[in-house]
């Protein structure tokens, strides 16, 4: 059995597939490991919520700075490089 390709796994390489016997002997199935890993405990859930809140705050702060610089200073020189230096 080889794990089906999914969002987290790309499946097995063609070399592994062939070494196991190819189309005649190999079956594809969902990995039971992924379903177990998807269950989060309260600490992990709290960490994800906290992470999303911090990320949302950082996005809001960045866009507020961008908006203020464009509206009040007439800035037109925002580039990926200039943003990364802030």
**Buried b or exposed e, range 29-61, using 16+ CB within 10 angstroms:** eebeeeeeeeeeeeeeeeeeeeeeeeeeeeeee
For the chain, give every domain's residue range. Answer: 1-39, 40-86
User: pTM of the predicted model, to two decimals?
Assistant: 0.55
| Nearest to 35, CA basis, from 70, 69, 8 | 8
Task: State the Cα–Cα distance between residues 2 and 20, nearest whole angstrom.
Answer: 9
Q: What digits encode the pLDDT tens for the residues 28-84?
A: 777 788 778 888 999 999 999 999 999 999 999 999 998 999 899 888 888 888 888
pLDDT above 90: residue 21: no
Task: State the Cα–Cα distance between residues 42 and 63, nearest whole angstrom.
Answer: 32
């Amino acid at each position: 059995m080889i794990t089906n390709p999914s969002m987290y796994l790309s499946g097995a390489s063609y070399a592994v597939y062939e070494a196991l016997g190819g189309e005649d002997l190999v079956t594809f199935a969902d990995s039971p490991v992924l379903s177990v890993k998807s269950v989060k405990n309260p600490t992990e859930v709290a960490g994800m919520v906290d992470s999303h809140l911090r990320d949302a705050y950082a996005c809001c702060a960045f866009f507020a700075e961008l908006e203020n610089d464009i509206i009040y200073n007439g800035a037109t020189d925002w580039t990926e490089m200039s943003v990364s230096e802030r």
